[in-house]
Structure 1
Amino acid sequence: MAKTSSIQLLTPQYWKDYELIDSGYFEKLERFGDLVLIRPEPQAVWSKALPESEWNKRHHIRFKGRSATTGDWLKKNPKTADRWHITYKNPEVEIKFRLGLTSFKHVGIFPEQAVNWDYISSTIKSFRTPQPKVLNLFAYTGGASLIAKAAGADTTHVDSIKQVVTWANENQELSGLNNIRWVVEDALKFVKRELKRGNTYHGIILDPPAYGHGPKGEKWKLEDHISEMMQDVVQLLDPKEHFLILNTYSLGFSSVIVENLIRSAFPAVRNLETGELYLQATSGNKLPLGVFGKFRT
């Protein structure tokens, strides 16, 4: 009989400083702290639940695209700050983020990842190892790194873009944490070096982009490189106590693909969970934002 895992639909439970208010017509209306933003959302192909007049009334800042990847932020009040802070707290830990308006429509956080953060903190707290080692690859501004560190892990954060690693360090300081190991490097190259060194980790987090570049121009394409990456990273897992999370945003990837990737790389996997992350809008609709696979001993 074929092995199967239960496919889950998961949404964050503990956000107070974030709210998806509505989505539709390729946009989303969302609150980060005290600021309400309108941003493009290619997956929101349905109609908006709220009238356009409500969107116009409620938002403070709107992103207007100039090209497929860049654009400008239009503020109702020119004095509205370009940077501000928010907090995330679950039953185990509390962390803080500095958000900012970038030319790529991002603000420095992916709120749906709170589902994975909760898994990270609860798993680390359950481990017998006093200070488990955690590796966060494609780590962006460090949400998962901060959570792991706050939960008591010896944390290594790897990203190929120096500016976002600097941003992650700001978030570390803002959260009252220290001693995260910052690495600006191509993730696949780093993993291969760790294998040669014989290093192992109790937790590994992967949140790879569909496309990307390393600091020396290394090319990353998800479908071309993710199988090799998975074959390598599972060899870095501590054999006695471990967890792994793989999260992808590619529109072409399903949770079944993620399950196949994990099982082919790690046939002995136990407690595998796969599914889809989404944000629940207060207006009623659900916004899908990626698929995941995760397991722990």
Structure 2
Amino acid sequence: MPQSIFILTNGNIQLLTPQYWEDYELIDCGDFEKLERFGNIVLIRPEPQAVWPKGLPEVEWVRRHDIRFKGRSATSGDWIKKKPQLPDRWHIEYSNPIITIKLRLGLTSFKHVGVFPEQAVNWDYISETIKSFNTAQPKVLNLFAYTGGASLVARAAGADVTHVDSIKQVVTWANENQELSRLSGIRWVVEDALKFVKRELKRGNRYHGIILDPPAYGHGPKGEKWKLEDHIAEMMRDVVQLLDPREHFLMLNTYSLGFSSVIVENLIKSAMPNVQNLETGELFLQATAGSKLPLGVFGKFSKHEKRGK
């Protein structure tokens, strides 16, 4: 299990890795691949960030893995199983001191399995912040919400959650995860995230928490185009207007090779010049074999209503 590592560099830029994962382990990474355990299944998948040599010999990778992804193109490939009885779908669990969720994993044609393990760091922040609020049932909006890990965490911590993603199949997957986690009440929305935000502004709705994990590229259900560097500034200008002025948090996570935590800091400060408690940094997974695998940058901030108000 990766151990919790917290490093401060340049004053307030943080390097964070998950603390509580029992059902996930990054065993090794290098030569553009990663060897990782999800529950009792060990996978080999491509990893463009792992430009260094592997820590373990190739014979160990071959011995330890159950299933390996082989790409046919830049966007698709096949899973090669050592044994035909190995499952295409299985379940894992994530727990921290506040919440427990369960997730259904699956072998997709584009190398994903339905969870990004480094996001557990953000899940801890989300659950801790929701529990610290005075608001009895904070309203939380999860944009680009994928299979719903952050939505489940927010709901399990007591929030009223709206989950927005443009792909119907992954929203259905997220609903499966809700049922698996024995939760209910999440509002599911299949829509372009930017369009939804603009409509919420017109409606005058407000949220105590907003979570954003935008892709580098994407499409809405009606063909709307999303390109991170072209649209993220507009998105940030809009979403900060949806925040409850008394008590709120915002979490922005990006996985794009061209983005740094300084860019995220500038985006947030441009959208909200008087932001309080801003933290920025980088997420990574600590391999058991020794390497650190960088997996995105984040910016987050919160405001708490004074007790008794």
Partner of 1:131: 137
Amino acid at match of 2:228: L
Alpha-carbon shift at residue 33 of structure 1 (Å): 0.1
1:39-78 aligned at under 5 Å gives the runs 39-78=45-84
Partner of 2:247: 241
Alpha-carbon shift at residue 5 of structure 1 (Å): 6.5
Distance 1:179 1:125 in 2: 18
Distance 1:76 1:222 in 2: 38
Distance 2:11 2:233 in 1: 19
Partner of 1:273: 279
Q: 1:5 to 1:238 in 2, by over 3 A?
A: farther
Q: 1:95 to 1:202 in 2, by over 3 A?
A: same
1:84 aligned to 83, 90, 104, which one? 90
Tell whether the 8 Å contact from 1:5 to 1:273 is kept in structure 2 after alignment. no
2:102 aligned to 86, 96, 113, which one? 96
Tell whether the 8 Å contact from 1:124 to 1:148 is kept in structure 2 after alignment. yes
Partner of 1:290: 296
CA RMSD of aligned residues (A): 0.7
Partner of 2:116: 110
Partner of 2:157: 151
Amino acid at match of 2:183: L
Amino acid at match of 1:37: L
2:188 is paired with a residue whose SS is strand
Distance 2:82 2:230 in 1: 43
Amino acid at match of 1:238: D
Q: Percent identity?
A: 83
| Unmatched tracts of structure 2, length 5 or more | 1-9, 304-309
Q: Does 1:262 align with 2:263?
A: no
Alpha-carbon shift at residue 13 of structure 1 (Å): 0.2
Q: 1:5 to 1:189 in 2, by over 3 A?
A: farther
1:23 aligned to 25, 29, 46, which one? 29
Distance 1:140 1:205 in 2: 12
Distance 1:102 1:116 in 2: 24
Partner of 1:195: 201
1:124-166 per-residue CA deviation (whole Å, 9 max, x = no partner) reads: 0000000000000000000000000000000000000000000
1:28 is paired with a residue whose SS is strand
Amino acid at match of 2:261: S
Amino acid at match of 2:218: G
Distance 2:235 2:106 in 1: 31
1:181-202 per-residue CA deviation (whole Å, 9 max, x = no partner) reads: 0000000000000000000000
Amino acid at match of 1:200: R
Number of equivalenced pairs: 294
Alpha-carbon shift at residue 243 of structure 1 (Å): 0.2
TM-score of the aligned structures, taking structure 1 as reference length: 0.98
1:83-109 per-residue CA deviation (whole Å, 9 max, x = no partner) reads: 000000001000000000000000000
Amino acid at match of 2:109: S
Alpha-carbon shift at residue 216 of structure 1 (Å): 0.1
Partner of 2:306: none
1:167 aligned to 159, 168, 173, which one? 173
Distance 1:84 1:223 in 2: 35
Amino acid at match of 1:225: H
